A = this chain, B = another copy of it.
Amino acid sequence: MTERVGDIGEFGLIARIREVLEAEGRLPPGAVLGLGDDAACFTPRPGCEILVTCDAMVEGRHFLAERTSARDLGRRAMVMNISDIGAMGGTPCYALVSLGLPARIPVAFVEDLYRGFLMELNPFSAGVFGGNLTSTNERLFIDITLIGEVRREHLMRRSTARAGDAILVTGYPGQAAGGLHLLVAGSAAPDLANHPLVRAYQLPRHRAREGREVARSGLASAMIDMSDGLLGDLGHICEQSGLGALLVQELLPVSDVLRAAALESRRDPFDWVLGDSDDYELILTCPSERVESLRALIHAVAGAAVSEVGRLTEAWAGIRIRRPDGSEGFSFPAGWDHFRRRGGGSQTG
């Protein structure tokens, strides 16, 4: 018989989580574990800024419990947060995990969820050092607060880009959007769960190591991770730096597998590359003479491809996209909210 959360109660569950953390996790020296309703405590390192980010995932909205393994779900939830810390040049240190748990959830699911968290935290010697468990009536939710550190002089912002800077992206944005489409459309592709686009959606990678190296190098003028899609997050850089942008469509990286899936689905692959997609790739900006140094630096970390896709322009006036025939479209003429309300995607033309 499957043991469920409702069978062992809050304190029983805390004990089980503690076992997983102690057996498989790490905790930076000086940190005091606070599970349940305790406050946790740590000593900040001199000369460092503290970074804090939180992201929540709700069953039925951000994941389907029956479509993903608990371990992948835990990894994905932590990757989202690690990516945010890395995009500011920081290193993840301490995670607080707040779970809303219906009684029907198997205890083994919760244990595997924490194993997923640890798989992503352990490589940074970061750990889960606190959190909260609460029972919910319906849907599981996972809310993670991740605390990181960054040396003051390495802190990366999105507001510090300059007109004329080159725009670089790592990897292949749009893979997750393509994967989500295949899942939602009920693609008949054989072994759908292991399709590379579906894997990119279920278990995206972060670029936190790349982000940290970029920050240490001082080569980039601004950096952000992609969780609102290429246009969305480039829009954040533009808006906060008071600039516009020109993207060149033929420079946008489209993977072969994305192109094939788009063809099969009769979709424009650039909708996925530009629109909402949880890829957690990085967008960087830098003076054009530093592009090759940055490319080499990032490639050295984990072999990531880096594409130069356009440049920043004077004054905030939306993002232009130059098509292969030389014509141009605006992605959003009237600000970001409108774009979002129209449902994402590349609103060019």
Q: How far is the CA of A66 from the CA of B349 in the complex (A)?
A: 47
CB of A55 within 8 Å of the partner chain = yes
Instruction: List residues of chain B with CB within 8 A of the CB of A58.
Output: 100, 134-137
CB <8 Å contact, B15 and A337:
yes
Q: Which residues of the partner chain B approach A272 to less than 8 Å between Cβ atoms?
A: none
> How distant is the Cα of A155 from the Cα of B30 in the complex, in angstroms?
13
> Is A132 within 8 A of B56, CB to CB?
yes
Does B135 lie within 8 Å of A138, measured CB to CB?
no
The interface bits of chain A over 40-76 (1 if a CB of B lies within 8 angstroms of the residue's CB, else 0) are 1111101011111111111011100000000000000
Contact B56 A39 (CB under 8 A): no
Q: Which residues of B contact A147 (CB under 8 A)?
A: 50, 52
Instruction: Give the distance in Å from the alpha carbon of A137 to the alpha carbon of B62 in the complex.
Output: 11
Supposing A41-B88, A138-B138, A139-B137 touch, asked if A145 and B53 sit within 8 A by C-beta, the answer is no
A171 at the interface (CB under 8 A from B): no
Contacts of A43 in B (CB 8 A): 49-50, 152
Check A134 against B50 for contact (C-beta < 8 Å).
Answer: no
A148's closest neighbor in chain B, by CB?
B39
* Contact, CB under 8 Å: B56 / A50: no
Report which of B39, B56, B145, B341 forms a contact with A134, defined as CB distance below 8 A.
B56
Quick one: given A9-B341, A132-B143, A136-B141, are A51 and B62 in contact (CB under 8 Å)?
no
Q: Give the distance in Å from the alpha carbon of A193 to the alpha carbon of B336 in the complex.
A: 43
Q: Could you tell me if A51 and B40 are in contact, using CB atoms closer than 8 angstroms?
A: yes
Taking a contact as CB atoms closer than 8 A, the residue among B90, B136, B145 that contacts A139 in the complex is B136
Min CB distance, A107 to chain B, in Å? 14
Task: Tell me the minimal C-beta distance from A284 to chain B in angstroms.
Answer: 16
Question: Would you call A279 an interface residue if the criterion is a C-beta within 8 Å of the partner chain's C-beta atoms?
Answer: no
Taking the nearest CB of chain B, how far is it from the CB of A306, in angstroms?
23
A141 to B137, CA, bound (A): 11
* Residue from A15, A53, A139, A227 with most neighbouring chain B CB atoms (10 Å): A53
Is the CB–CB distance between A54 and B136 below 8 Å? no
Of chain B, the residue at the smallest CB distance from A88 is: B39
Give the distance in Å from the alpha carbon of A85 to the alpha carbon of B38 in the complex: 9
- CB pair A50–B53 under 8 Å, yes or no, is no
Q: Known contacts A60-B137, A138-B139, A139-B136: does B130 contact A52 (CB below 8 Å)?
A: yes
Q: How far is the CA of A309 from the CA of B188 in the complex (A)?
A: 69
Please, which residues of chain B bring their CB within 8 A of the CB of A52? 34, 39-42, 94, 96, 129-130, 145, 147
**A127 interfacial by beta-carbon distance below 8 Å:** no
A228 within 8 A of B: yes
Q: Which residues of B contact A84 (CB under 8 A)?
A: 37-39
Give every chain B residue within 8 A of A150 (Cβ-Cβ).
Answer: 41
- Min Cβ gap A20→B in Å is 17
* A12-40 CB contacts (< 8 Å) to partner B: 12, 15, 34, 37-40
* Given A38-B53, A55-B132, 9 extra CB contacts under 8 A: A9-B337, A11-B337, A11-B340, A11-B341, A41-B150, A52-B145, A56-B134, A58-B100, A136-B139
